[in-house]
Each structure stands twice: as structure tokens, then as C-alpha cells.
Amino acid sequence: MDNRVVITGLGVVAPNGIGIAEFRHAIKNGISGIKHNPELEALQFSCQISGTPPLKSEHIAACFSDLELRNFKSTGIMYGVIAGMEAWQDAGLSISGDSEPDWDSGVVFGMGTSGIDKFREAIYRIDNHEVRKLGSTVVSQIMGSAVSAHLGGKLGLGNQVTSNSSACATGTEAILMAYERIKAHGATRMLAGSTSDSGPYIWGGFDAMKVCTYKHNDSPEAGSRPMSATANGFVPGSGAGAMVLESLDSALERGAKIYGEVIGGNINSGGQRGSGTMTAPNSEAVQRCITAALKNAGITADQVDVIAGHLTATSKDALEIENWALALNRSGADFPYINSLKSTTGHCISAAGSIECVASVLQLHEGFIFPNVNCEDLNPEIDKLIDTNRIPRVLLNKEINFLAKANFGFGDVNACIIFKKY
């Protein structure tokens, strides 16, 4: 029970920053990574803007050989491997070339849909009776565990190597799963995170559901508007976030840098009952998830300094704030500070939780609260619930002791994790 779990490495591939240094600069300065997307315009999407990570050839070449890149089409695997490798190296861990696996280290890395472009190519080949031309990498790009399998092989991990998938809660859930593995003495360290593919085949369904914004095709950086009165849908995004979790004893023994501590959390579902549906959250379940996370972490609601919200720039933003207020029994000026990374990255779907957890840990470790952008015209329903000063519009340099991070996904699933300053 005393086996404490700390964070010793971070990695990120985000629309507004590749790598921790660039990402940190972007979130502290409210720099958006949302751009016009010519492909979406050509395909006549209603939403023609996106948060697509600006990967360069040097980022890819650092993690993949020319042979691996032959017939490689999964952006999600690429993002996840690059972010995961950065986190591993940031933790000061070596990549062993020995034949012996690292039995004490594993990975939980989630994703939504893997290699959909590769899947599309394979379908056309099969329909044209060209099954022998599929090649040998189709399965390893489209299987649900593809990203964790690639990372496990590159790093030689011999402990649990697995993937999870819980819609927009995937990344936060993966980190909690890794935390629980270490807490139970099942592993010494775990690489945890999530990723999401880019492109129209991932985002088209959301555009068809009319949950994406269509009013800012000519002003992309103003498009993602969490908590705003003029929010009219999310901006689709993609990328990956990763962190190395490790037992405190191991981190201290090897003199590792410690970014913060995971002290607990909770995962639940509203069962698509009551107010919960496939696409909408059951408010009671959300509140139960938050209160159980606090209980599991051993802290009280009044100790939460900052909330890293899910807040997607849809009609559900005010409901999310209400659920936090009820779960914490805090409102007005007593409400914690709250921010939404999606204002500068868009909604990165299955990668959202992990990228936002990386941003959360950076805030905790370095003592700042990044600004919300595009919510100068605060939603009046939110204004009734909490003091507007609890939604920072400028960078705040402030010591943070406890940060609560939550994500809520399709299927009425919820995940909340509590980070503590080390």
C-alpha cells in the first residue's frame, strides 16, 4: 500500500508542439496549432480546420528506419512511437539492444482506430483480388494493439504490453491502468499514453454528426472555443501523449528526475442510463467518478487547486462545470482554477486524455496555469456557476499541489486522475 508511483518522463506529439520544449512554450503562451485543412475543404466537410501535428522528416527518422516506413500509413502509430520514445529517453532510460527483455518494464498505450488508411488500402486490394499484394505489415498497422506492440518491440519491454480503448477517456484510463500495475507491484515502471490517427476517415463521422464547428473555416485559431458563449462544436485533432510511471523507490535509486506523483483516480460508466447515452454523459456517473477519484487519492475536495477539464467547446461544457461544482461542493470564487487544452489543440479524440495529462503534469511540476483562449465571451450558464477569475485568460505563475484531470467519452465512460506535486 505504500508503493508510491511517480512520473519520471514525458513525451508529446501535439498540434501545437512536437516534443516537450515546443509544447511547453505553446501552452504557456496560448499558441494554437489549429490550421486550415485543404483536404477537408476538398472533401466538402462542414468543418475545414483541424489540429494536425506538424511532424517533420527528422522527427520520423529519429524513430523509424527506411525499411519500417515502407508502405507505412498509420499516423497514429507514428505519433505514439515518437511520443513514447521521447518519454522513455526523457526519463533517462536506455534502450537495450540485448536479447534479454526488460522484465520489469511494460507499456499501456491506447488508441481509437488504428491504421485506417492502411485498412482502406487493404480493402481495395482484396476487392480487386490482389490479396497476395497486401504485404506483411497490414496486421501490425491495423490491429488494436499496434502502438503498444511497436513500442514494446523498440524498447524491449518484457512486462505487460497492452492497449486500451475507451473513446476520449482512453489516455487518462491508460495512465491509471499503468499506475495500478505498479501500485500492485506488478511492474517497476510503465510507459503509458494514447494516440489518435489524423485524417478524414477518423474525423468524417464526427462531421456527419454535426458536432464539429463550421463557423470558423476562415479563422482557424478562433475555432476551438471551450466555455465560450459562441462555441458551436469541437475542432478535430490528433497526436499522442506519453509518460513514464515508476515506483518511487526505483526513481530514487537511479536518481531520476521526478515531475510529480500519481496518487489515485477512478474509472466508471453511466451505463447509458438516466441522462447518459452513447454520446452524452450521465451526470451522476461523472460526479461519482470525481468523488471516488478523490477518495482513492486520499484527499478532500477543498485541496484541489486546478482542474484540467475535458471541455470540448460543445453544448456540454456548462454541464461539465456543473458536475465539477456539485462533485466538489465548490462554486463561485471557491471553485478551483480550470482550463481546457482543447482551446489550442482541438479535440484529439483518443489522444486527448494523454496529451492533456502531459500538460497537467508540466503545470504541476513548474508551477503555472496555462491560459484559456477564445472564451472572452464566457458562456452565461458557466458564469452563473463559478467566478470568471477561476478561468484564467492569461498565464498564471502559481504553486500547484493537487490537480484533478478528467475525460469523458462516447459510450458514457469516465476517467479521473489526481496528480500531486512531488
In words, the CATH class of domain 268-420 is alpha beta
Looking at residue 420, its pLDDT comes to 98
Looking at residue 125, its pLDDT comes to 78
Burial of 227 by CB count in 10 Å (0-12 exposed, 13-18 middle, 19+ buried)?
buried
How far CA 122 is from CA of 128, 140, 283, 339, 409, in Å, comes to 10, 13, 41, 41, 29
Residue recorded with cell 525499411: 67
- Taking the CA atoms of 215, 218, 219 and 223 in sequence, report the sign of the dihedral they define: positive
Determine the topology of domain 5-260 in CATH. Answer: Peroxisomal Thiolase; Chain A, domain 1 (3.40.47)
Same CATH topology for 5-260 and 268-420?
A: yes
Q: How confident is the model at residue 113 (pLDDT cuts 50, 70, 90)?
A: confident
Give the helix ranges, DSSP H, for 298-339: 317-328
Residue 414 in this model has a pLDDT that exceeds 70: yes
Residue 70 in this model has a pLDDT that exceeds 90: no
Mean pLDDT over all residues of the chain? 95
- What is the distance between the terminal CA atoms of the chain, rounded to a whole angstrom? 18
Residue 172 in this model has a pLDDT that exceeds 70: yes
For residue range 332-370, list pLDDT tens digits in order: 999 999 999 999 999 999 999 999 999 999 999 999 999
Is residue 48 within 8 A of residue 40, CB to CB? The reply is: yes
Is residue 64 within 8 A of residue 46, CB to CB? The reply is: no
Write down the pTM of the prediction: 0.96
Rounded to whole angstroms, the Cα distance separating 4 from 373 reads 35
Rounded to whole angstroms, the Cα distance separating 242 from 369 reads 20
- Taking the CA atoms of 332, 338, 344 and 349 in sequence, report the sign of the dihedral they define: negative
Residue 1 in this model has a pLDDT that exceeds 70: no
Which residues on adjacent β-strands are paired with residue 9?
244
For residue range 312-325, list pLDDT tens digits in order: 999 899 999 999 99
Spans of all domains in the chain: 5-260, 268-420
Looking at residue 377, its pLDDT comes to 96
Q: Which of 396, 410, 405, 337 is nearest to 367 (CA)?
A: 396
Is residue 207 within 8 A of residue 46, CB to CB? The reply is: yes
Looking at residue 72, its pLDDT comes to 85
Is residue 133 within 8 A of residue 314, CB to CB? The reply is: no
Q: How confident is the model at residue 260 (pLDDT cuts 50, 70, 90)?
A: very high
For residue range 23-62, list pLDDT tens digits in order: 999 999 999 999 999 999 999 999 999 999 999 999 999 9
Looking at residue 135, its pLDDT comes to 78
Residue 208 in this model has a pLDDT that exceeds 60: yes
